[in-house]
Every structure is written in C-alpha cells, then in structure tokens.
Amino acid sequence: MAEGIPNPNVIRSLTFKRVLITVTVFLISAILFVTTDKSPGAFSEFLATIAFIGIGISFLMSLAGFFISVVIVFSYSTRMIRSLV
C-alpha cells in the first residue's frame, strides 16, 4: 500500500460509526418531537425545541459526513494519480 494512504477498513469503520450516530440522533429527536408535539405545556414545548435542534444537528452531521467522504475520495484519487505519474 502506498505511503500516507490510511487503511480502507479504518475509514469504513469510522464512516459506519458516523452514520450510526447520525441515524440514532435523528431517530431519538424525531420520536421526541412527535411525542411532545401532541401534548400542551411549556415543558413539552421545551422538549420539542430540543428535538428540533437534534434533527438539525443530525442533518448537519450527515452533511459533514458527505463532505468528509468527498475529501477522502479526492485525496485518494490525487495520490493515486501522483503515484502513476
């Protein structure tokens, strides 16, 4: 394997963990948002706000994961091209 290129299994494991955390945060936030949206009261509005923020955070985490994947693929391709030249 070329020098400076990390092990693909490590990248795959990190990607899986990132996706698992993102999906977990989204599901917990969505369930919290749906269950607290039906009941009246200030505390349920507070929980709904926290859930809405959690949904936003999971969306930002998925965007960050996408951009990290693009950067990894781009760095692999440039290193492979440099090794061929």
Kindly state the average pLDDT of the residues 25-48. 76
Signed CA dihedral, 28, 17, 81, 78: sign only: positive
Model pLDDT, residue 10: 67
Segment 67-84, tens digit of pLDDT:
887 887 787 777 777 777
The full DSSP string for the chain is --TTPPPHHHHHHHHHHHHHHHHHHHHHHHHHHHHHHSS-SHHHHHHHHHHHHHHHHHHHHHHHHHHHHHHHHHHHHHHHHHHH-
pTM for the full predicted model: 0.57
> Would you kindly state where each structural domain of the chain is located, as residue ranges?
8-84
Residues 9-27: what's their mean pLDDT? Answer: 77
